[in-house]
Chains A and B, each alone.
Chain A
Amino acid sequence: MTLRVLDPRQSAHGEALRMAPPLASLDGAVVGMIDNAKIGTERLFDFIEEILRKEYRIRECIRRRKPDASRPVPPPMLMEMRGADAILAATGD
């Protein structure tokens, strides 16, 4: 006898997300930073920005702080990141 049982998982819908191709260099790049509003993120990003500027010679940092750690980035804030070549998102728990 065979039992036919159903898979409990929900498949994701829509087109699969893909990673953007890596940048050849950060030299002259614009880097976006989305702070998730946790207590330590600002300090972490200060540190990373300093490294990116000194050691990788990025041109600009666009830094924004989410209004709420537990909800998605508001669409207008994402639009502000359109000019970035790369974006960092971090949690600072």
Chain B
Amino acid sequence: MSNLPQFASTVHEVTDAMEANELYQREGWTDGLPIVPPTEDAVARFLAAAELDAVAVIGVEPVRRRSITAEKVAIAAVMAGCLPEYLPVVVATVKAMCQPEYALHGSTASTGGSAPFIVVNGPVRLAIGMNATHNVLANASRANATIGRSIRLILLNVLGGIPGQLDRSTLGHPGKFTFCVAEDEEDSPWPPLSVERGVPAGVSAVTVLQVESPHQIMNEWTHDPKEILDTYAAAMRSNMLLYSIWEGNYAFVIPKQHREIFAAAGWTRQNIRDYVFEVARVKRGDWRLVGKAAVAGRKDEDKVYCALRSPEDLLVVAAGGPAGGFGAILPPWYGKKSLAVTMPVGA
């Protein structure tokens, strides 16, 4: 490609893609999986596709004040295996995560070991072939897999989120490799999540929240929406007792089989949130049942803790395969210390 941009990054010369991969593995610049070599030509193509200058600052991590430039975002996207047309989604995700309420530094550095969960809405999902149905939380789509992976590589290489260094996760979870879904807008009884969060209909957007590993639930034995939600809420109460009692943004991934039950009963997302707000509660004294007697008695054991600060804390995502009563709750990293952020693509 002629007329390459003036890149700020150091250039390394290698003989071929295999040697490039070995260099990046050796230097710890990847997540352990192979990379696509971020050649000058490839990075230039990605930037051109997103109409971005290499020097453009996509975001600044608020605590350490690290600037994240378009050049570094494009390098990560190439390495992750993206196509150029995915880059605007990666860019929007970085912008969202740099908002102060996201607490990017704290959540990246924490022993808690959480991961950014990315939900994509709008026309871009279909344009780039994202998956919203079968196996939605796992492998099924190049776009889902590589957009999420790009974010991990940015955290690793641009923000220094190296395990054992800035990233102090005790365990982490598999979503730290990649954790990105599209919402199944075409088969949902509800407006897109992004529209509910203030983005105009028809505009593509990402919603990102910092979550612990998903807890899968199953209920195929009722058509009562309350009973279905009682199963999700039980998983939330379990998380409150076993992991963290603190209130914050939880997400539900609700599959078609459950969505049809809600639709038949005329339940909106607001109905779901209102019900869950009431039932996802535990008593402090319940900690005694799960081996946490040492802290249960430090305050009033009859005190009731809610999973959500208000019903609006719950994000309801329509996604998953067409058959099966399997849903998931995604708990927050650390209560309300990191909040979900929605960002239009191309903003």
Residue ranges of A at the interface with B (Cβ–Cβ < 8 Å): 1-10, 12-13, 39, 68-72, 93
Contact = CB atoms under 8 A, between A and B. Distances in A.
A6 B158 contact: no
A73 to B, nearest CB: 11
A70 B72 contact: no
A8 B72 contact: yes
A5 B20 contact: yes
A9 to B, nearest CB: 5
Contacts of A3: 13-17, 19-20, 37, 39
A71 B38 contact: no
B200 to A, nearest CB: 32
Interface in B275-314: 295
A70 B107 contact: yes
Interface in B18-55: 19-20, 23-24, 29, 37-40, 43
Interface stretch (B3-11, B181-189, B222-230, B339-347): B3-11
Interface residues of B, number: 43
A6 B10 contact: yes
Contacts, number: 86
Contact of B29 (A9, A68, A70): A9
B39 A4 contact: yes
Contacts of B69: 10
Contacts of B13: 2-5
Which secondary structure dominates chain A's binding surface?
Answer: loop
Interface of B: 7, 9-17, 19-20, 23-24, 29, 37-40, 43, 63, 66-69, 71-72, 75-76, 79, 103, 106-107, 110-111, 153, 157-159, 295, 334, 337-338
B68 A70 contact: no
Given A3-B14, A71-B103, A10 B68 contact: yes
Nearest to A70: B106
Nearest to B159: A10
22 contacts: A2-B13, A3-B13, A3-B37, A4-B13, A5-B12, A6-B10, A6-B12, A6-B43, A6-B71, A8-B24, A8-B29, A8-B76, A8-B79, A8-B158, A10-B69, A10-B157, A70-B107, A70-B337, A70-B338, A71-B63, A71-B106, A71-B337
